[in-house]
Amino acid sequence: MKVTVLLGGDSPERDVSLASGRGIVQALRGRGHEALPLDPALPLERQIEPDHVHIAERPPGTLDPLPPEKALDWLRSPLLLDADVVFVGLHGGAGENGTVQALLEAAGVAYTGTGVLGSALAMNKDRSKAIFRIEGVQTAEHLILRRGDPPGDVRRLVEERLGFPVVVKPNNQGSSVGFSFVEEPSELGDALEKAVSFRCDVIVERFVAGREITVSILGGEALPLVEIIPEGGFYDYKRKYTKGTSRYVAPAELDEDVTRRFQEQAVLAYDALCCRDYARVDFRMSDEGEPYCLEVNTLPGMTELSLVPMAAMASGVSFDELVERICMMAIERAGKGCAG
- For residue 108, give the amino acid letter: G
Rg over CA atoms, the chain:
20
316 in active site:
no
d(Cα 271, Cα 285) in Å, to the nearest integer?
21
Query: Is residue 294 in some structural domain?
Result: yes
pLDDT at 336: 59
Catalytic residue among 9, 301, 306, 324: 301
Beta bridge mates, 169: 203
282 in active site:
yes
Catalytic residue among 241, 270, 278, 292: 241
Same domain, 193 and 164: yes
pLDDT at 340: 35
Mean pLDDT of 232-259: 77
Beta strands at 34-38 and 2-6: parallel, antiparallel or unpaired: parallel
Catalytic residue among 39, 295, 320, 324: 295
Same domain, 167 and 247: no
Same domain, 15 and 85: yes
Q: Between the CA of residue 236 and those of 4, 165, 266, what are the distances in Å?
A: 30, 16, 21
Catalytic residue among 280, 284, 306, 320: 280
CATH number (domain holding residue 237): 3.30.470.20
For 282-336, the pLDDT digits (tens) are 999 999 999 999 999 999 999 767 999 999 999 999 999 999 999 999 999 988 5
Same domain, 6 and 104: yes
241 in active site:
yes
Torsion from C-alpha of 322, 325, 329, 332, nearest 10 degrees: 170
Total of domains in the chain: 3
d(Cα 247, Cα 232) in Å, to the nearest integer?
11
Same domain, 217 and 183: no
Query: Is residue 66 in some structural domain?
Result: yes
Catalytic residue among 11, 17, 128, 175: 175
239 in active site:
no
Percentage of the chain lying above the pLDDT 70 cut: 89
210 in active site:
no
Query: Is residue 37 in some structural domain?
Result: yes
Same domain, 215 and 181: no
Query: Is residue 23 in some structural domain?
Result: yes
Residues in the chain: 340
Same domain, 221 and 304: yes
Of 206, 232, 254, the domain-final residue: 206
Helix (H) or strand (E) holding 294: strand 291-297
Catalytic residue among 20, 172, 297, 306: 297
Of 151, 172, 206, the domain-final residue: 206
Same domain, 104 and 14: yes
Which residues span the domain enclosing 252?
131-136+209-316
For 54-66, the pLDDT digits (tens) are 665 565 666 778 8
The alpha carbon of residue 73 and the mean position of all alpha carbons in its chain are separated, in whole angstroms, by 26
Beta bridge mates, 167: 181, 205
